Structures are given as C-alpha cells and as structure tokens.
Amino acid sequence: MLGLDVGDVRIGVALSDETATIAGGLPTLVRVGPRKDVRAVAALVRAHEVAEVVVGLPRRLDGSLGPQAEKVQAFATDLRRSVRIPVHEWDERFTSVEATRVLVEGGVRRRDRKQSVDKVAAVLILQGFLDSRKVAAATDKSTG
C-alpha cells in the first residue's frame, strides 16, 4: 500500500511492506502541476506494484472539510481515474504536528525537519490506516 500526504508544495510518500503491517518512507515528491503530480504517483504505484493508496485528508478540528481538504479530494479523484485501484481518504488531523514532534524528539535539526516532515506524515497516515484495518479484522474475528 502507498500512503500520501498531499500538500501544496510537496507530496510525502510512504510504502507498506508486503504484509501491510509496517509503513516506511519513500522520497518526497515536489509538486509541479496536477497532471504531472498524478502521473508521478501513478508511476510509483506501478513501480512498487501497489494494490491500494491512502491519501491523508486534512479535516478541520470539527471534522468539516476546508479548502485544503477539497484540493486533496480533487487530487484523489484524479488519481483514482489514473491508477484504477482503490484510493482511500484517511482523516489526517494532527499528522503534521505529530510528524514534527517525532522529528524533534529524534533530534532532527530545525532546518532539516522541513525536508522530512512530509515523509514522516505520510508514514503516520499509512501506519494509522494499516493499524485500523488490523483492529477491524481482529474485532470481526472476535465477534464473528
């Protein structure tokens, strides 16, 4: 699975292992334009034989969608048309804040954090999605 943190300037990218258990970061993409950005992600999907994509959806604190979330939804729609595999939207509230906290605690210098925060946010988005699937599967087994 591929995880994406779609921003206006960069797209953080993460990839899961084959068992969809652990997410790890891939190089961050620099945005160049909607069509080219979708093509770049589609190329990653093909190169890594990705079966599903998770796109972080930046909701407001009250859960509503703001202008940035609408941009991300438009990107996800274009990506769905291009890759023809499931593209999930995942609530990513606080992901960038958490990514920054992880980098600070890891001792990453302020000037180097900007380069890493998108990748770490993508890892957190994908890991959250993977973990929620594991919990759902375990709950289904215990109740079924």
Query: What is the per-residue pLDDT for 28?
Result: 95
Number of neighbouring beta carbons within 10 Å of residue 74: 12
Mean pLDDT of 91-110: 83
User: Quick one: what percent of the chain has pLDDT higher than 70?
Assistant: 97
Report the alpha-carbon distance of residue 16 to residue 127 in Å, rounded: 8
Structural domains of the chain in order of their starting residue, each with its CATH number: 2-143 (3.30.420.140)
- pTM, entire model: 0.88
Q: Is 20 exposed, middle or buried (0-12, 13-18, 19+ CB in 10 A)?
A: middle
Q: Which two tokens stand for residue 2?
A: 């591929």
pLDDT in tens, 22-78: 999 999 999 999 999 999 999 999 999 999 999 999 988 888 999 999 999 999 999
What residue has token string 């334009």?
33
Query: What is the per-residue pLDDT for 79?
Result: 98
Query: E-assigned strands of 31-86?
Result: 53-57
Q: Which two tokens stand for residue 55?
A: 């796109």
With b for 16 or more beta-carbon neighbours within 10 A and e for fewer, the 90-124 pattern comes to bebeebbebbbebbeeeebeeeebeebbbbbbbbb
Read off the pLDDT band of 10 (50, 70, 90): very high
